[in-house]
A and B are shown apart, each in its own frame.
Chain A
Amino acid sequence: MTRAVYAATLGVGIALLAWGAAAVTWPLERALFWIRSSGWLAAGLLLMAILVTPLARRLRSPSRALPSLRRALGISAAASATAHAALSLGTHLDGAWAQVASLAWLRAGALAWLVLAALWLTSYPGAVRALRVKLWKPLHRLALVAALLAFQHALLSPLAARGWVLGVFGVAAAAWLTRLIPQGRSSTPSQASSQSQT
């Protein structure tokens, strides 16, 4: 069921994007459309993956579905980032590999992708067993580093709207920081009734 919803969402999303891309007549701009869409998608999914746990805690709605949701979002983010990188290098950047290392915003994007790729690879129990990965948790905490690098990438890239970059990453940072706010202990119904009797 979850997989079906996921696949349907993915299909509708891609169809909408294709419809948007079809409206762009200049091939170079069409390529940019796909690059920007995949980039925003990757950033959005990554931020959602990072925020799932703190938000669920804050909303006091622990669910057994959370780990799988987080995993699905993370894998989708890595896949989107891979598509974003491949599209960029194949079209707009036209294979300018040297620039990836020399320009700060491209380097940040490449590093973010490397981190996400490592996380993606270690997101499958079979792969973790085969690679005998013991310290996967410290590795997966690098998702935060990937998000920071993605922020640098988006902020310095020439075509991203700064207002949106600051808005999206700012809201995500604020939401993530809520985990630092101590949660008050809630009283159970039985405690409440005993308090009212005394």
Chain B
Amino acid sequence: MRGLRLQLGLVLAASALWAALPHPSFAAWLGSYAVVWLVGQGVARAGWRWTLGRGPTLALGALLLAAPVGRAIEGWGPLLERERLDGVAHLTAARLRLERTPSVAPPLVSADRPQTFYLHADGDAVALRLGDGGPRLEATPLGHGLFRVAYDPRRDGLADPPDGALEATIEVDGEAHRRELLAVRPLPHPRALAPSPSRARAAAVSEETDELAVIDREGHLERVEVLDGPTDVAWLDEARVIVTHRYADAAIVEGDAVTPVDTGPLCVHVAARDGVAAASCHRALVVIEDGRVRRRALSFQPEHVAFGPADTLVVSSRQPPALHRLRLSDLEPDVAPLFLGRPAVTMAAEGGVAVVAVTDFRPDGPAHLGNHFVDDQLVDVDLAAWRPIAWHRTAARTARQRAPGDVDRGVSPLGVDLAPDGTRWVAFAGTDDVWGLRDGRAPTMIALEDTLPTPVSVAALSGDRIAVASAAFGAIAIHAASGRPIALARLAPDDATLMRDDEAALMRRVGERSFYESTRSGVSCQSCHLHGGSDGQRHNIGGGALVATLDARGALGTPPFLRDGGYPTLGSLDELARTLYRGYLRRQGGRRVGLDRWLASQPRPTPPAQLLGRDLARERRGLDAFVRARCGLCHAFPAFTNLGQHPAETIFPDFAASHAGYELDTPSLLGLGESAPYLVDGRAETLAAIFTDHDAARRHGYVEALDEAALADLLHLLEGL
């Protein structure tokens, strides 16, 4: 008993000492204990004995306890954060979910697109059932206990339930195992508006709900069901539009008739002029003329496309962040690329001039390397002379400014339209406004925060009207050019309806708006994570290291987050916005939860290989190579990550030499093929370069075990994950 009393006394005294120098760490407390123990040791050696009655002992104990308890309450958060215990339950649950075989990844089932799931199971015959009433999907064995399921909701049916917690069943040799997934059925998201030739109407597509929306000047809306995953629309003439699709061929739509054109899937943007359409597809440009399709493979991934002067096409790319001009006749480049510094966020061209929105403009070198540098600009490019002729910063401040340097208008220009009268209309998703800019006149600024927030596109209509689309709010508004609201056409329910009927969807909407919304510093999540993805660039984050932008999609079930695994939950990324970026102008309840829910609902892009065809035999050989090279030590099945964090020195000593103390979060390899550049700082432009040029210490896998053919098979597998 006396021994326990002595022990308690030492603990109390150590805690009191720690409270005097309260460093939030276990090491500090243990150091205090050591000091107190040494003092006690000295006292014991001196032979002093100090005996107190029960009352004084209790009083002294309470006194000693008060300070450390207070300090502990005060420093609890920092202590948990420093010891990486703040999200330990969340992280451990995610790891256990992956380790508990049979397991499945990713844990998100989206109702709007084809998806690939990987299963890790010890068996021969494996199937995945998406809910009791949902589809049963046979898995293809890849070897080494890994199986793959290709799911297409259009072909296989929706999960049961299609939205919310989903009790999936993994069947392994006839034995059923229940696993919880998340099912999401997104609401309509009308995006880029395309005005008709007469500008009497405008059209937009909703990729999430496979529909085309056509709106007239009065706000009358027509909705037409199109093929799977419409990505963009352009008018061939006053009656016909061409719609590109991510998961299907492009199609010509006239009235309710949808006629596919043999373009192949994965086309993301389209422009049309005089009945000729040009679409940017998977590493190719496709021209459609009178139903005939011409296709030209490109060395880069084309994105925005517009018609230039004298039968040329202008195409933007993220990597390199540049514009390319190609002859329409043979789709060959007729001039060197025009480098922008950062990729085009949106682009419109008319009368020989293209207006390109970028988050930084640097025509003569790499983007500026300021810490978290984002500088939204509109760049005018003379397409004939092939040079930028003017560039304007858009971020502006108003009387709503709270502190020096705050901006609250003109952030994140995501939609541009060039009206016939010379006005350029710009939609700013970050600050909920639309501007009409015309040389020699004061800009018209239409504030939309109370009517249609997060505008992502704008189209000038005849009769001095404009159409504005908000993807997050699933609506298209018609305004007079003066700003007066005329009509609001909703494709998705309004907030009040969602509050009543679908609170989960409302929280996702809150999160989506927050993702696009500018902070007071003029930076939004969307500034670098374009539409939730990645701008494919390297940014100076914190003045310490250049970091390649991660794709923010497909993050569910892969904590912790960011390259160094510094954030335990998706919602905790909100802290960055509140602190580093000085917070938001607008108060929003549940913003953190909303961000978490929206990001969690974003699936990874469908691997192109699922749509374009796979070479199963080669993939199996690639998986053999994956196992032989011991990649699975860290990139473990089925998510191709064990969710571990490694000191940089243990894998890339060369990198660590210039980035001491850096911790690397093991990324999932799912979706790898489309996420270049690679490695934390984007130093590997290609997958092959990871092994050939950036693993001098040979610590990033046992690549020596692979011959050239096996390495090629491994790369093939990785590209298709």
Contacts and interface: CB of A to CB of B under 8 A. Distances in A.
Contacts of A14: none
Given A29-B633, A98-B660, A99-B649, A135 B6 contact: yes
Given A138-B10, A158-B666, A96 B647 contact: yes
Interface residues of A, number: 43
Given A29-B630, A132-B45, A135-B44, A162 B84 contact: no
Interface in A121-139: 132-135, 137-139
B489 interface: no
Interface stretch (A3-11, A57-65, A141-149): A141-149
Given A111-B30, A132-B45, A94 B653 contact: yes
A157 B644 contact: yes
A134 to B, nearest CB: 4
Nearest to B666: A158
Contact of B96 (A32, A158, A166): A166
A159 B661 CA distance: 19
A27 B154 CA distance: 49
B645 A162 contact: no
B40 A135 contact: yes
Given A104-B82, A152-B83, A161 B99 contact: yes
A95 B99 CA distance: 30
A25 interface: yes
B702 interface: yes
Nearest to A137: B3
Tell me if A's interface is mostly helix, strand, loop or mixed.
Answer: helix
A163 interface: yes
A135 B40 CA distance: 8
Contact of B630 (A26, A92, A114, A137): A26
Contact of A108 (B83, B96, B663, B705): B83
Nearest to B34: A118
B663 A134 contact: no
A93 to B, nearest CB: 6
A163 to B, nearest CB: 5
Contact of A135 (B41, B95, B647): B41
Given A115-B30, A162-B92, A156 B84 contact: yes
Nearest to B41: A135
Contacts of B33: 142
B30 A158 contact: no
B18 to A, nearest CB: 13
A102 interface: yes
A30 to B, nearest CB: 11
B27 interface: yes
Contacts of B480: none
Contacts of B3: 137-138
A134 B82 CA distance: 34
B581 interface: no
A142 B10 CA distance: 11
A156 to B, nearest CB: 6
Given A92-B650, A135-B37, A138-B7, A162 B45 contact: no
B26 interface: yes
Nearest to B697: A94
A166 B653 CA distance: 32
A166 B99 CA distance: 12
A105 interface: yes
Top 9 closest A-B pairs, CB basis?
A158-B644, A134-B44, A104-B84, A96-B649, A26-B702, A99-B647, A162-B95, A104-B83, A138-B7
23 contacts: A25-B705, A28-B699, A92-B650, A94-B650, A99-B649, A103-B645, A104-B82, A104-B83, A106-B647, A108-B26, A111-B26, A114-B30, A115-B30, A132-B45, A135-B10, A137-B6, A138-B7, A145-B30, A157-B644, A158-B642, A158-B666, A159-B644, A163-B100
Given A96-B650, A135-B37, 14 more contacts: A25-B702, A28-B699, A99-B649, A106-B647, A111-B26, A115-B30, A132-B45, A134-B41, A135-B41, A137-B6, A138-B37, A141-B7, A161-B99, A166-B92
